[in-house]
Amino acid sequence: TQHNGHRDHAGYLDHIEITGARENNLKNISLRIPKRQLTVVTGVSGSGKSSLVFDTIAAEAQRQLNETFTTFVRNRLPRHGRPEVDTVDNLSAAIVVDQKRIVGNSRSTVGTITDTYALLRLLFSRVGMPYVGSSNAFSFNDPAGMCPECEGLGRKVTLDLAVFLDRTRSLNDGALLHPNFAVGGWYWKLYANSGLFDNDKALIDYTESEWQTLLYGTDAKVALEWAGGEIDSRYEGLVERFTRVYLKKDPGEMSDRNRAILERFVTPATCPTCHGARLNPAALGCTIDGRNIAELADLEVVDLIGVIAATSTVNAEPVVASLLERLGDLIDIGLGYLSLNRETSTLSGGEAQRIKTVRHLGSSLTEMIYIFDEPSIGLHPRDVIRLTGLLRRLRDKGNTVLVVEHDRDVIEIADHVVDIGPGAGADGGEVVYSGEVSGLAGAPTPTGTHLRRRMPIKAVFRTPTHSMPIEHATRHNLDDVGVDLPAGVFTVVTGVAGSGKSTLINEVFLAAHPDAIVIDQAAVGVSLRSTPATYTGMMDEIRKLFAKVNGVRPALFSGNSAGACPECQGLGIIYTDLAFMDGLKSTCERCAGSRFRPEVLEHRVRGRSIADVLRMRAAEAAEFFVEKRIQQIVQAMIDVGLDYLTLGQPMSTLSGGECQRIKLATELHKSGTVYVMDEPTTGLHMADVAHLLGIIDRLVDRGNSVIVIEHDLDVVKNADWVVDLGPEGGSAGGRVLFEGTPADLLGTAGSHTAAFLRQDLG
Ligand code: ADP
Ligand code: ADP
Ligand code: ZN
Ligand code: ZN
């Protein structure tokens, strides 16, 4: 029935019709995407996939939906500009399931966000012993259930007096070290003006009673001299005040500055009353088959599902059934190693996306468009296969599923593939293939070429110069792990999701090697004015060149100088902030997007103005500039595959993969450094991966060590050394299964990575 599902009553194919799409680099393209089918949009990095899927289809779906609301509602919704497209027909409501981390306070857990904890509470209220009644009595977010000591957080942070006070000093000398208690400030005066202390006496000389008063207070009221008058105030000890003002707030809701300051002055500890269980004694006293709800929430989902299935629950069958289904979804999507009490703020981007997917699988909505941005991130080939099953299930519920993806296994299950390209930036933006997967392998596009070709394991492995041992690593699921990471070579750390790769490298290894350089995909746009030119340091050289040739000051060519367009402050774009709405962006009319005053644009170098230069792509700049330093930086951009980027494109518009490569471009000249990369193939097409491998080889050939966490088998095949963790995720993982060359990995029994590598090599 599935294959007839996308025909309407008259037998016509039912499609989303896009005509004349021109966002970013899209070249006025028109295409149709079948509804109620699974479509994968692929193509090299920078080819225009996001411009089509997010900036055109998702944006237009949202805009059309908003148009259907009353003005009252519409004025309260974010306003979306109309995408650069002639028409998009036959849309339905779109939901974007992205990889943004789930930001939230410490009350948000895997259990609360997937509703599994609510089902568990319901189960306890029905069949827990002794009988309790309301399911709220098991909620750590409800006064009826929360531990009164920690208010349901499971943790208590306490003021670290050794850091907060310098006991060798007096109040007048600045004994209180927290910046908000500095001498002369409001909080300081509450103590110094209280009349209770000798302000010149070092704290170390205080009597026991003075010390107690300073920290824990007295019941006395004190008259404070204040601005010429006196106010009556209840005296509060330092500990009491600090706790009330700082520790009762959720750190998630503080400003970054206050949170950072706070972290220096407190020590976190498990709540002494509930021991981290978050609940009050009544809730913890209620059990099912001998276990309380906190103990169940502490189990990994793979273990919890067995306990629930074995529960005898005559009067709660529907609850048990829903719970088993939800837990099964979590396992299917490769998250069985998580426990329900895991705080969502500690999940990686890929884990967060999979959690969101599970929520949508539980929804009974149909006829939606679900859009996924590279859902294979963080997934081992073993887990990718499970993921594809869930994407199909979402489709089979009657939804249109659109996936931006490069992973071969995901492309291969698609009903329909749209290949954008052929190249990146101005060399891309066209539909180079649209149709069934079977036809793609024969298509003369980068995707088709790579689908046909299988890479062998490389022939020669480099010899390590020395080793960087990790001994007795015990963190999360790592249980006394020892591993020798080789230096001077390219090492890949593999293993299924949750096996402990990030813990081993990002936490244990990096803590011991603080000088290692982490190349991640996090955005680097520190200011709206950041561009590839400013980030790489090229802009300084370009400014000097313009100044020298024209006999003026270099600062004239700076985006934040007197030479900048006064209307847009050198941004070229006007951002309009609107209450309740997304800001609007428009090209500055005064400078027509050139960012500079007209008189600055008259200064030329070989006929080009500073604005012309910022509009050049790296490839053009390489031909234009003869100056050595500029040449080198431009060449580094080309070497990392960013020849298509213009020097002046705002960094805020770069994709994760592009940001990562800009970072690499600024590092290419170093040697003797350790580089750590976490899934650098994210956002990269198979053709881009080959390019990345070339960059890594150059880094290693220059005497650097590169350690990469990766699942992509082509990357594994090109490593000098592999460390495989597993065998499974969570407590069933955390062991080193293999250390050695990829050739030797092939024969390892019990390793999922080895099994998939054998399969890939045929
Ligand atoms: P993909 O998703 O295939 O990696 P994108 O659609 O993100 O590619 O980008 C296509 C091209 O458009 C790239 O060259 C990118 O740098 C450029 N681009 C993306 N967003 C913007 C923007 N807001 N302004 C200018 N150029 C952009
Ligand atoms: P991988 O990188 O191989 O996917 P991780 O190192 O992220 O695996 O996770 C290994 C184990 O440690 C998993 O069981 C995971 O749930 C657990 N873990 C990771 N981070 C945290 C954290 N911040 N708090 C608690 N457990 C964590
Ligand atoms: Zn507590
Ligand atoms: Zn302007």
At residue 246 the predicted structure's pLDDT band, cuts being 50, 70 and 90, is confident
Region 485-501: mean pLDDT is 95
Q: Is the CB of 302 under 6 A from ligand 2?
A: no
User: Does the Cβ of 51 fall within 6 Å of ligand 1?
Assistant: yes
d(CA 554, CA 546): 7
Strand-pairing partners, residue 574, are 586
Q: CA 536 to CA 645: how far, in whole Å?
A: 13
Name beta bridge partners: 235.
Answer: none
Identify the residue whose C-alpha is closest to ligand 1 atom 7.
Answer: 50
Q: How far is the CA of 501 from the centre of ligand 2 (A)?
A: 8
Examine the pLDDT at 161 and tell me if it is beyond 60: yes
The distance from CA 278 to its chain's CA centroid, rounded to whole angstroms, is 27
pLDDT category at 582 given cuts 50, 70, 90 is very low
SS3 assignment, position 466: strand
Residue 294 tokens read as: 């906190």
Pocket test for ligand 2, best of 299, 341, 382, 502 (most atoms within 8 A of CB): 502
Q: By 3-state DSSP, what share of the chain in percent is helix, strand and coil, each rounded to 5?
A: 40, 20, 40
Best mutation site among 41, 45, 50, 571 for ligand 1 pocket (most ligand atoms within 8 Å of CB):
50
Answer for the pair 314, 363: CB distance below 8 angstroms, yes or no: no
Q: Which pLDDT does position 651 carry in this prediction?
A: 87
Q: Omega into 34 within 30° of 0, i.e. cis?
A: no
Other C-beta atoms lying within 10 Å of the C-beta of residue 343: 17
The residue to mutate among 655, 662, 682, 684, having the most atoms of ligand 1 within 8 angstroms of its beta carbon, is 655
Atom of ligand 1 at shortest range from CA of 657: 4
For ligand 2, is residue 481 a contact (CB within 6 Å)?
no
CA–CA gap between residue 459 and residue 720 (Å, rounded): 10
Most confident of 381-385, 525-529, 650-654, 742-746: 742-746
22-26, 583-587, 723-727, 752-756: least confident range = 583-587
User: Which of 47, 51, 617, 688 is the pocket-test mutation for ligand 1 (most atoms within 8 Å of CB)?
Assistant: 51
54 lines ligand 1 (CB under 6 A): no
Q: In this predicted model, what pLDDT tens digit does every residue of 515-541 receive, in sequence order?
A: 999 987 777 666 778 899 999 999 999
730 CA → ligand 2 middle, Å: 7
Q: What is the model's pLDDT at position 723? A: 98
Residue nearest to atom 1 of ligand 2 (CA): 498
From the CA of 627, how far away is ligand 3's center (Å)? 65
Task: Please tell me the predicted confidence (pLDDT) of residue 228.
Answer: 60
Ligand 1 and 48: CB distance under 6 A: yes
**For residue 151, pLDDT beyond 70:** yes
Beta bridge partners of 414: none
- Confidence band of 354 (pLDDT split at 50, 70, 90): confident
Cβ 500 under 6 angstroms from ligand 2:
yes
Ligand nearest to the CA of 418: 1
Instruction: Express each pLDDT in 32-78 by its tens digit.
Output: 999 999 999 999 888 999 999 999 999 999 888 888 877 777 776 65
CA angle 124-129-134, nearest 5°? 45
Q: What's the CA angle centered on 12, arms 6 and 14, to 5 degrees?
A: 40
pLDDT per residue as tens digits for the range 290-346: 999 999 999 999 999 999 998 877 778 899 999 999 999 999 888 999 999 999 988
Q: Closest ligand 1 atom, CA of 47?
A: 3
Ligand 1 in reach of 653 Cβ (< 6 A): yes
Q: What is the pLDDT of residue 5?
A: 44
**pLDDT surpassing 70 at residue 80:** no
In angstroms, what is the span from residue 77 Cα to ligand 4's centroid? 29
- pLDDT of residue 578 exceeding 60, the answer is no
- pLDDT above 90: percentage of residues in the chain: 60
Lowest mean pLDDT among 76-80, 93-97, 153-157, 422-426: 76-80
Which pLDDT belongs to residue 705? 97
Q: For position 714, what pLDDT does the model report? A: 94
Q: Whose CA is nearest to atom 4 of ligand 1?
A: 46
CA gap 671, 486 in Å, rounded: 16
Stretch 419-423: mean pLDDT: 94
Q: pLDDT tens for residues 260-291?
A: 788 888 888 899 999 999 999 999 999 999 99
Instruction: Say if ligand 2 is within 6 A of residue 494 CB.
Output: no
Ligand 2 atom closest to the CA of 300, numbered from 1 = 14
pLDDT at 13 (0 to 100)? 58
251 band by pLDDT with thresholds 50, 70 and 90: low
pLDDT at 579: 45
CA triple 697-698-700, angle to 5 deg: 65
Å from CA of 156 to ligand 3 middle:
8
Count of all residues that appear for the chain in the document? 762
Q: Closest-lying ligand to the alpha carbon of 687?
A: 1
pTM: predicted TM-score of the whole model, two decimal places: 0.82
Distance CA 700, CA 671 (A): 8
**Residue 26 half-sphere exposure, CB side, CA atoms within 13 Å?**
28
Q: Does ligand 2 have an atom closer than 6 angstroms to the CB of 111?
A: no
What spacing in Å lies between the alpha carbon of 531 and ligand 4's midpoint?
16
- Ligand 1 in contact with 47 (CB < 6 A)? yes
